[in-house]
């Protein structure tokens, strides 16, 4: 039986299981102790608990000094004060200390209004910073995806924890000591010279403006204002599941129709859907899977198994750096973003009679690695990128607000055709397990020739880090694995490297939860309920769609008929597939 302890917090008695922290016990009775470095995404086992900011200190009777509520377990009979003068005074001093080494240019900070530190300063009513002295002075660093402004770093270590413990990328680490302590890549070199995959999880958890995205909104405004250019947009599935949060809507509210209306209002010539390209991805990747599987079953030794999905650009960066010996394993299919760009600037542009140089393809993504992906040389024709640039969900939010659009009053509108049509399979790409589920729906029917009655593969859904499932294809047991978070991906990759993998196909998404938890999404501020709600909203949208299998998308069928021929044809190969490079310079040298 679980042991319980009774403690007194302020004037309330509370009984909690042994081991519960003071912070949680207080939360349960509605006492919200301020925190800063602390972060806990409970269902995903992601915790940042250095107990180092000292914002959450409380008074524990009989203890010499104040205790950090986040890391102090409740003891039976403990008496805690969370708001005594001693505590309030200490918190105020600690916050002032942080502010004394932090720029006060909040008005023009990228995180203004969305900053944990700013909120605390407001809550604790800081009106003056009494301590003056040396301030950190670092060089602002810009990479294709992420901007590092370390003058604003408060050394909460969340990004370090994400980069190392969760993602196992190890691009960021704590360096130096004392006042010069900072989170940085090795040798303070640029992110672009490090192992960084641009997954953006560091940005997603940064409580202040130290880590932000490379913002393209102004560039977009200029293009939209240019009458010589046709500007079209594609929106990734996960965007619609989170966008509403920033306009006060309940988490999980699907705002697809309003989002389309807003984009039209902003002045895009066409509003398309990345979901269309997701369906296209299934056609190519599914065909590739079946091809490899057939050869494998025929005993072809040249075929490597399992096949890995390749839609996630951070994941691609990850294996290019850490698993360059296995570049033949991932699917060669481009990501939906890039498939969209490639088709838009070929098939659609030709159809519409628009010259490539006059066409601007913009993507709205839940992701920061997509910004980098746009700039990869493989996805350019004569130097012109298939997707000109990518904006995050957060950037779209700010654009909508700047353009004086009352989002909640917008009517629901539909995407433009042909590249706005999608099936439910395309929608669920945005959440972990979705790509695999979509692929199974199509692969099953193509492989067995039977109609799949129940399209819901429940056991590939959910937030656990690694999921496994077996699907029966004409008595062949297809084993699939799903990982989200690069640390989980690494586990599966290591199994493959050691020849111990049981899977035929594996889906990998770099961000915890999949794209719904992407580095470009509205900040979750440590609330994992948000991620669950976003995921649910995508499954609802899938269920509400008349078509739920990618190969049934009429415009996909048309695209193949008119232009590509069949999946994996030469033309498809040229436009929709790619190849991978070893990114680890040390291994390259050897």
Q: Under a CB-based contact definition with an 8 Å cutoff, are residues 191 and 199 in contact?
A: no
**Smallest distance from the beta carbon of 548 to other proteins, in angstroms?**
42
Is residue 177 close enough to count as binding other proteins by CB under 8 A?
A: yes
With CA atoms as reference, report the closest residue to 465 among 410, 528, 526, 552.
528
Residue 585's Cβ-count burial label (10 Å; 0-12, 13-18, 19+) is: exposed
Which positions ≥6 away from 287 have C-beta within 8 Å? 446, 567, 568
Is residue 155 close enough to count as binding other proteins by CB under 8 A?
A: yes
**Smallest distance from the beta carbon of 146 to other proteins, in angstroms?**
15
**DSSP three-state, residue 550:** helix
Out of 59, 373, 421, 507, the active site residue is 373
**Smallest distance from the beta carbon of 386 to other proteins, in angstroms?**
33
- Contacts to other proteins from residues 249-308, by CB under 8 A: none
**Smallest distance from the beta carbon of 447 to other proteins, in angstroms?**
40
Q: From CA 395, how far away is CA 371, in angstroms rounded?
A: 12
Among the listed residues 2, 13, 62, 65, the single contact to other proteins using CB under 8 A:
65
Stretch that binds other proteins, among 8-16, 174-182, 256-264, 369-377 (CB under 8 A): 174-182
Total site size for other proteins, rule CB under 8 A: 51
**CA distances for 159 relative to 37, 51, 127, 153, 328, angstroms:** 10, 15, 29, 10, 31
With CA atoms as reference, report the closest residue to 212 among 140, 164, 137, 149.
149
CA geometry: angle at 283 spanning 521 and 578, to 5°? Answer: 70
Among the listed residues 18, 79, 86, 122, the single contact to other proteins using CB under 8 A:
86
Stretch that binds other proteins, among 180-188, 213-221, 236-244, 462-470 (CB under 8 A): 180-188
Is residue 311 annotated as part of the catalytic site, yes or no?
A: yes
Query: Residue 284: enclosing H or E segment and its boundaries?
Result: helix 274-297
**Smallest distance from the beta carbon of 56 to other proteins, in angstroms?**
10
Is residue 50 close enough to count as binding other proteins by CB under 8 A?
A: yes
Among the listed residues 88, 139, 140, 186, the single contact to other proteins using CB under 8 A:
186
**DSSP three-state, residue 587:** helix
User: H helices within 200-273, ranges in order?
Assistant: 201-205, 217-224, 237-242, 256-266
Is residue 35 close enough to count as binding other proteins by CB under 8 A?
A: no
Q: Under a CB-based contact definition with an 8 Å cutoff, are residues 558 and 418 in contact?
A: yes
Which positions ≥6 away from 131 have C-beta within 8 Å? 96, 97, 100
Out of 160, 515, 535, 537, the active site residue is 515
DSSP 436: H
**Smallest distance from the beta carbon of 57 to other proteins, in angstroms?**
5
DSSP 364: E
Q: How do 57-60 and 79-81 pair as beta strands?
A: antiparallel
Q: Under a CB-based contact definition with an 8 Å cutoff, are residues 96 and 67 in contact?
A: no
Stretch that binds other proteins, among 187-195, 267-275, 329-337, 415-423 (CB under 8 A): 187-195
Which positions ≥6 away from 189 have C-beta within 8 Å? none
Judged by phi (left if over 0) then psi (alpha if -120 to 50, else beta), residue 507 lies in beta
Q: Under a CB-based contact definition with an 8 Å cutoff, are residues 280 and 556 in contact?
A: yes
Is residue 68 close enough to count as binding other proteins by CB under 8 A?
A: yes
- Judged by beta carbon, residue 87 or residue 506, the one nearer other proteins is 87
Is residue 453 close enough to count as binding other proteins by CB under 8 A?
A: no
Is residue 454 close enough to count as binding other proteins by CB under 8 A?
A: no
- Judged by beta carbon, residue 36 or residue 278, the one nearer other proteins is 36
- Judged by beta carbon, residue 36 or residue 438, the one nearer other proteins is 36
- Judged by beta carbon, residue 97 or residue 124, the one nearer other proteins is 97
**DSSP three-state, residue 476:** strand
Is residue 57 close enough to count as binding other proteins by CB under 8 A?
A: yes
* Token digits of residue 154: 């408060």
Q: Under a CB-based contact definition with an 8 Å cutoff, are residues 91 and 124 in contact?
A: yes
Is residue 73 close enough to count as binding other proteins by CB under 8 A?
A: yes
Among the listed residues 39, 150, 159, 172, the single contact to other proteins using CB under 8 A:
172
Is residue 370 annotated as part of the catalytic site, yes or no?
A: yes
Is residue 408 close enough to count as binding other proteins by CB under 8 A?
A: no
Out of 56, 115, 196, 311, the active site residue is 311
Stretch that binds other proteins, among 177-185, 294-302, 352-360, 389-397 (CB under 8 A): 177-185
Is residue 437 annotated as part of the catalytic site, yes or no?
A: no
- Judged by beta carbon, residue 136 or residue 217, the one nearer other proteins is 136
Is residue 428 close enough to count as binding other proteins by CB under 8 A?
A: no
Q: How do 211-213 and 146-148 pair as beta strands?
A: antiparallel
Is residue 140 close enough to count as binding other proteins by CB under 8 A?
A: no
CA geometry: angle at 496 spanning 495 and 501, to 5°? Answer: 70
Q: From CA 529, how far away is CA 356, in angstroms rounded?
A: 43
- Judged by beta carbon, residue 72 or residue 521, the one nearer other proteins is 72
- Judged by beta carbon, residue 314 or residue 559, the one nearer other proteins is 314
Residues taking part in catalysis:
285, 288, 311, 331, 370, 373, 378, 515
By the criterion CB under 8 A, which residues form the site for other proteins?
Answer: 50-54, 57, 65-66, 68, 71-73, 86, 89-90, 93-94, 97-98, 100-101, 130-134, 154-155, 164, 169-181, 184-189, 194-195, 586
């Amino acid at each position: 039986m679980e042991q319980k302890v009774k403690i007194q917090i302020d004037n309330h008695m509370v009984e909690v299981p042994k081991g519960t922290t003071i912070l949680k016990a207080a939360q349960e009775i509605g006492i919200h102790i301020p925190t800063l470095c602390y972060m806990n995404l409970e269902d995903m086992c992601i915790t940042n608990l250095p107990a180092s900011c000292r914002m959450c200190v409380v008074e524990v009777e009989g203890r010499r000094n104040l205790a950090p509520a986040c890391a102090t377990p409740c003891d039976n009979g403990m008496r805690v004060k969370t708001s005594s003068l001693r505590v309030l005074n200490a918190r105020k001093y600690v916050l002032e200390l942080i502010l004394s080494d932090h720029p006060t240019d909040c008005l023009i900070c990228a995180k203004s209004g969305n900053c944990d530190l700013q909120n605390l300063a407001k809550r604790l009513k800081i009106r003056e910073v009494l301590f003056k002295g040396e301030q950190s002075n670092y060089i602002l660093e810009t990479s294709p995806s992420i901007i590092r402004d370390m003058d604003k770093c408060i050394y909460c270590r969340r990004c370090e924890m994400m980069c190392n413990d969760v993602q196992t990328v190890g691009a960021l680490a704590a360096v130096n000591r004392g006042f010069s302590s900072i989170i940085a890549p090795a040798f303070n070199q640029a992110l672009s010279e490090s192992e960084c995959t641009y997954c953006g999880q560091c940005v997603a958890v940064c409580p202040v403006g130290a880590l932000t995205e490379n913002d393209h909104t102004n560039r977009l405004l200029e293009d939209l204002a240019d009458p010589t250019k046709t500007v079209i947009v594609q929106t990734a599935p996960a965007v619609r599941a989170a966008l509403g949060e920033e306009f006060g809507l309940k988490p999980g509210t699907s705002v697809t129709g309003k989002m389309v209306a807003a984009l039209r209002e902003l002045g895009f010539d066409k509003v398309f859907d990345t979901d269309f390209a997701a369906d296209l991805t299934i056609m190519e990747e599914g065909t590739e899977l079946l091809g490899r599987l057939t050869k494998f079953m025929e005993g072809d030794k040249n075929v490597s198994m399992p096949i890995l999905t390749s839609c996630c650009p951070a994941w691609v960066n990850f294996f290019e750096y850490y698993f360059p010996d296995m570049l033949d394993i991932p699917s060669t299919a481009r990501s939906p973003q890039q498939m969209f760009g490639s088709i838009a600037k070929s098939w659609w542009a030709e159809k519409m009679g628009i010259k490539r140089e006059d066409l601007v393809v913009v993507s709205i993504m839940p992701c920061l690695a997509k910004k980098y992906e746009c700039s990869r040389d493989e996805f350019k024709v004569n130097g012109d990128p298939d997707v000109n640039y990518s904006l995050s969900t957060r950037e779209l939010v700010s654009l909508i607000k700047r353009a004086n659009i009352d989002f909640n009053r917008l009517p629901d509108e539909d995407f433009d055709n042909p590249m706005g049509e999608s099936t439910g399979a395309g929608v669920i790409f945005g959440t972990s397990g979705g790509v695999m589920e979509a692929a199974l729906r199509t692969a099953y029917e193509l492989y067995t020739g039977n109609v799949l009655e129940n399209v819901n593969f429940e056991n590939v859904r959910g937030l656990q880090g690694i999921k496994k499932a077996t699907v029966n294809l004409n008595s062949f047991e297809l084993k699939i694995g799903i990982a989200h978070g690069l640390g989980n991906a690494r586990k599966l990759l290591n199994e493959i490297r050691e020849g111990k993998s049981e899977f035929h196909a594996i889906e990998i998404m770099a961000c915890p939860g999949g794209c719904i938890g992407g580095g470009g999404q509205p900040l979750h501020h440590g609330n994992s309920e948000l991620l669950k709600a976003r995921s649910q909203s995508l499954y609802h949208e899938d269920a509400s769609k008349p078509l739920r299998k990618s190969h049934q998308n009429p415009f996909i069928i048309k695209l193949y008929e008119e232009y590509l021929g069949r999946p994996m044809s030469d033309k498809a190969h040229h436009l929709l597939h790619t190849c991978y490079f070893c990114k680890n310079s040390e291994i390259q040298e050897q």
